[in-house]
């Protein structure tokens, strides 16, 4: 398996532009997570899906952020309009549940977003 | 908000030495996990310990869990330069179903 695949690897955009980050989870995993990593705030959970359905989006910072998972093999995180404070590394991760707890997460390589 | 807090924030050791880092958390957990992150890369899972376990080993890694103190430790024995990375603990809290919360991490530098 190729692991979790994210694209693009790097994104540089100007304030006000729309940004779309993409993720392909590991086949067979029924949970998908979007995290954001910054020096100031560390790793923050933005949203997660179970069987393509958003379960908890309480970590999404503002209405400018939206995430979708149209099928089991694809998810997007969109920022519209983007702002400089959105600059961060965005990680997608997938996993499966076993019993009553979440098992290990498999992370993608991340998207380094810079909003100028 | 971060559930786990690692200590120390940074650690510098020489090859062959042991590295120990600690993680404290606030609420009841189902399990606690440790991850490694090399510079510019994604996180890689190292080891998972469940709330009913006290100690776990994986190769040169040893993890302990003390649920009464709400703390865990990660020991890397006989460290190598390749162990240079940031290490994060992550908790699956009992009251936050599905949310794996990460601490701020410990940055470990192993010099040859």
Interface contact flag, A43 B88, Cβ < 8 Å: yes
pLDDT in tens, chain A (116 residues): 689 999 999 999 999 999 999 999 999 999 999 999 999 999 999 999 999 999 999 999 889 999 999 999 999 999 999 999 999 999 999 998 766 677 889 999 999 999 99
Rounded CA separation A22/A68 (Å): 10
Pairing of strands A111-115, A10-13: parallel
Residue with tokens 């940004």: A19
Nearest CA in chain B to A54: B98
Question: DSSP string covering B40-61, please?
Answer: TS-EEEEEEEETT-SEEEETTE
pLDDT 10s digits, B64-109: 999 999 999 999 999 999 999 999 999 988 877 778 889 999 999 9
Rounded CA separation A51/B74 (Å): 33
Degrees, nearest 5: CA angle A48-B85-B88: 40
Rounded CA separation B47/B74 (Å): 9
- Using only C-alpha atoms, chain B has a radius of gyration, in whole angstroms, of 13
Instruction: Write out the residues of chain B at the interface with chain A, using a CB-CB cutoff of 8 A.
Output: 2, 30-31, 33, 35, 41-45, 48, 50, 88, 90, 92, 98-105
Q: How far is CA B57 from CA A5, A19, A110, in A?
A: 30, 42, 29
Sheet of A5-7: strand order equals A5-7, A19-24, A74-79, A65-71
Nearest CA in chain A to B40: A109
């Amino acid at each position: 398996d190729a692991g979790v695949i994210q694209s693009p690897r790097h994104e540089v955009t100007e304030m006000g532009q729309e940004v779309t980050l993409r993720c392909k989870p590991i086949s067979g995993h029924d949970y998908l997570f979007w995290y954001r990593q910054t020096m100031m705030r560390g790793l923050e959970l933005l949203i997660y899906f179970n069987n393509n359905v958003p379960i908890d989006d309480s970590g999404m910072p503002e209405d400018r952020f939206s995430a979708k998972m149209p099928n089991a093999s694809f998810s997007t995180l969109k920022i519209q309009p983007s702002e400089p404070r959105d600059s961060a590394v965005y990680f997608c991760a997938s996993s499966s549940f076993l019993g009553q707890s979440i098992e290990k997460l498999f992370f993608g390589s991340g998207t380094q977003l810079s909003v100028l | 908000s971060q559930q786990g807090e690692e200590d120390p924030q940074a650690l510098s050791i020489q090859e062959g030495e042991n590295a120990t880092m600690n993680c404290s958390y606030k609420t009841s957990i189902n399990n606690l996990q440790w991850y490694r992150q090399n510079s510019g890369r994604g996180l890689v899972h190292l080891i998972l310990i469940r709330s009913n376990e006290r100690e776990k080993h994986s190769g040169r890694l040893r993890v302990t869990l003390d649920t009464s103190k709400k703390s865990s430790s990660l020991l890397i024995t006989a460290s190598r330069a390749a162990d240079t990375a940031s290490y994060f603990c992550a908790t699956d809290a009992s009251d936050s179903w599905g949310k794996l919360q990460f601490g701020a991490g410990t940055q470990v530098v192993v010099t040859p």
